[in-house]
Chains A and B, each alone.
Chain A
Amino acid sequence: MNNQPSGLVLTGVSKRFGATRALIDGDLRLRPGEIHTLLGENGSGKSTLVKIMGGVHRPDSGTVTLDGVPVTSRSPRAAMDLGIATVFQEVLTAGSQSVLENVWLGSHGTFRRRLGRAEQRSIAQDVLTRIAGAIPLDLPAGQLSLSERQALCIARALVRKPKVLILDESTASLDVSSRDRLFVEMRRLAAEGTAILFISHRMDEVAEISDRVTVLRSGRSVSTVERSDLSINRLIADMTGNSGHAETRRQPHDAGDTILQGAAVRLAPASAPIDFELRAGEVVGLAGLEGHGQDHFIKRLAGVAAGPGSVVRIRPEGAAELTERNGDALGVAYLPRERRGESLFESMSIRENFALPTLAKDRRGGLLDTRSIARRFDAFARTLSLRFGAAQDAISTLSGGNQQKVLLARWLATDPKVLLLNDPTRGVDIGTKREIYAILHRLSAEGMSVVVLSSEVDELVDLADRVLVFRDQSVFAEIPHSELSTESIVAAYFGQKSEVHT
């Protein structure tokens, strides 16, 4: 063991969730006294790495040491006892408890209170003031603004005086003045020897505060850059890698008339309104880091979420506003993000899963004609090259990719003109992904309009005619086909309107 504390060191850390390898080879050296930024796009393994450090997950393999001593935290509590305090991405408060209780939440033992009431109050007041300004300690936390609640979560970590402080997107919900105060506080703590891991999706923040930056891509640590070598272009290049995948790339082509139109759609009370037109035969990609509004937007287009602004389906026979009920009738089909829970009937058969919304087509004299169902299903099974045992098998016997194809068939059976896909290839193997891309290309060539939200940048580059990148609950950039690249999309994720290369 060294005499000098070596900080938090992760070596070759991996973590698997079912079939998904969230982290394959995570390496990170977090030195005492530094502000170290962890950077990566969706699914790069950031959150998994943070949760391993914070004691939520345990790694499948690899080592974690703090000042040379192996760390095997089994819970956030155990991590905190070692001096690792994590402010998780979610704003975690107990709404009907007071601000004071929330600041000290988890610091106490099961029965034993840490510190006296008066001391608790003065420390909480002091720490909160340094980040968010004066917040009344006796107010229920639920009555605070989002920014104040985020500050409260940060204060909760700070009052523990941790050796290692992890801030996972903690600036996302902070207002600007609180963020500036947090930065001052971070620098002060680093000067006192605290190791700080910082995660943010704002490049300007990363450039301002980081001593070093480690980039994660597809579950691996790809580079660690010193402040002196920091350049935004380099970081974006590291995040995207240099994967060549132009061969499947969609060719630009002419789109038809507008068939779906969104006017002044607002995703949050204060966000900028979005005007959107979808034309016949067009494939539009929606992108953004998790939680920036793209998910809400596609739900608004589908009519399954309501809010300010209007979404109108334009047909030869006239325009009609979309609601939760009339999607089918207007030829708009929506494939939700969560297969389990939102789409699948897990205990039912493959064929039933396919046929449920369209059983009306199999009606013969008020009864169901099972042969008609079978005929329809077989036709789709062929065109989508679906692989299954028997159509009566439970849907759960299929792989994720084939389940997704069954669901795609379910909605294609409604004869839609507009197909809205919410992250359709999540948890789908690469071969089936390619097949789904080919199907979408074919459908759009036949005149169908597709909106596809994807958390995978490569996929959007392959699929889309243009991509809308969301930031802060609005459209930050619209990237036309000519400028479409992983770099331009990821740059927009992080708030850069890049002219990196066009």
Chain B
Amino acid sequence: MDAASAVPLHPVAAEALTAALADGWADPARLYSAGRRAQQLRDATHAAFAEALGVRVDEVSLWPSGTAAAQAAVLGGLAGRARRGDTLVHSAIEHSAVLHAAARGKATEVGVDRLGRLDLDAWEQAVAAPGVALASLISASHEAGTVQPVAAAAGYCAEAGVPLYVDAAQSVGRVPMPAGWSLLSASAHKWGGPPGVGVLVVRKGVRWISPYPQDDLYRPGLPGALDLPAAVAAAASLRAVLGEAQAEAVRLSSLVDRIRERVAATVPDVEIVGDPVERLPHLVTFSCLYVDGEALLHALDRQGFAVSSGSSCTASTLRPSHVLEAMGVLSHGNVRVSLHRGTTAEEVDRFLSVLPGLVAGIRAEAGM
């Protein structure tokens, strides 16, 4: 139940990966037949991504991870507009990869409300300020699930003449993307592709300069060999996932509704986080008062449930999630549940039946 981190490999991805390992091992720049086959596979992969995302082939580049694609979007987008300005406007709930890229230069942060929704008035003011080179908005928070008003935010960016980068890692393959953005990135292992494939789209007419040294071929993307078999598998699984996305969104969204409703009803002193309606179909977060998040994570793991947490005790930084802080919601005792195509209603019901007892046990140990 941690699809927001990584989803088990989709069967179509596994099949494509095996086939591409046999057929796509060669260097696509070489002129012998195995090289040409690899080149054809690479071109077909770019075309498949372009079709799945509804963009032009030459707008797509592939990166070694979603994180690398996100950082390339921010740094390359800023570099491309260096003559117009040096400031990045971003929401307070961007992925940490974006925040770290933002920390390299000038940045203006725009807050969110208690439900994790972008403050659009502050956003409008921030992007209209002089010296803004780029704006960055996550399509939907991977920690709270709240879907952001991308179309409205893009409208304000267009008025100000500022390109908008959308980190769509949680949305691609699950929900349609609104138009109006200039750059977009996604990550294959969030939709059932293999890990280690990131996608970056830079729309035609948007100035983007690679933040990395280039190679002789001046291809967009990180110089060096692409993991072609993984990219082939990522494209094949994205196509498969999009075919079932609508039905899956309905199924998973009703499971999330059940979790939101049952956790609130059966666990005392709990805060269900994020917008109950304008949210991702597959993700829900809640925080339990007086509970050590790490203890709850391990207790759930012993019951066979893999979940994530934004509590400080579970973070490598030992700080609470910046998303939960920006929303001002309880950060300890935090659990994020995110579902995928392999998650069944029976598993969700078993989770809901064991959770209240585990929470009560941890509270009793703490004397509460």
Q: Do A and B bind each other?
A: no
Q: Which residues of A contact B (CB under 8 A)?
A: none
